[in-house]
Structure 1
């Protein structure tokens, strides 16, 4: 089976900023993304959990994007401009996909 090398951009950020991020990804013509709730974790300021929070204000989401390496800077620069104003993390990793033409 033929595989294609791509980049996975994983963005964890405050849930209230999710729409701004996905709107930005749409304007950047990203072919697709997946949004998932983050249940909890541990970071610079200790352990946190979304359990018991009355609203989305303290919750986090994870947004995954698969992109061609050539588009990485074009996507990352505006994404980081948005994320740096919020609590968030951006990671990039290598992935292999089967249908390379979709990214």
Structure 2
């Protein structure tokens, strides 16, 4: 079966910034993404978890998308504009997809 090269972008950001990020992604031409809850982790600020939180507003989410390589720079510019002044990380990895027309 033939596969096609793509980029997988994962952005971890505060829940309250999610709509600002996905709006920026739409303006950059991204047509689809998935949002996952982030249950906890460890970083510069130490270890943290969602345990004991009473509202969704203080949690973190991961926004995942798969895009054509030629759209990567526009997406990264849009994502950086949102995360540069907030907690968040952006990772990019190579992947392959079966149905290139969906991306």
CA RMSD of aligned residues (A): 1.0
- Aligned counterpart, 1:64: 64
- Aligned counterpart, 1:35: 35
- Give structure 2 stretches of 5+ with no counterpart: none
* Equivalences, count: 103
Offset from partner CA, 1:14-36 (integer Å, 9 cap, x none):
00000111111122221200001
Given the two structures, how large is their TM-score scaled by the length of structure 1? Answer: 0.94
Q: Could you say what secondary structure the match of 2:71 adopts?
A: helix
Find out whether 1:77 has 2:77 as its counterpart. Answer: yes
Q: Could you say what secondary structure the match of 1:6 adopts?
A: strand
- Aligned counterpart, 2:25: 25
- Aligned counterpart, 1:8: 8
- Aligned counterpart, 1:96: 96
Offset from partner CA, 1:29-58 (integer Å, 9 cap, x none):
212000010001111111100111122232
- Give structure 1 stretches of 5+ with no counterpart: none
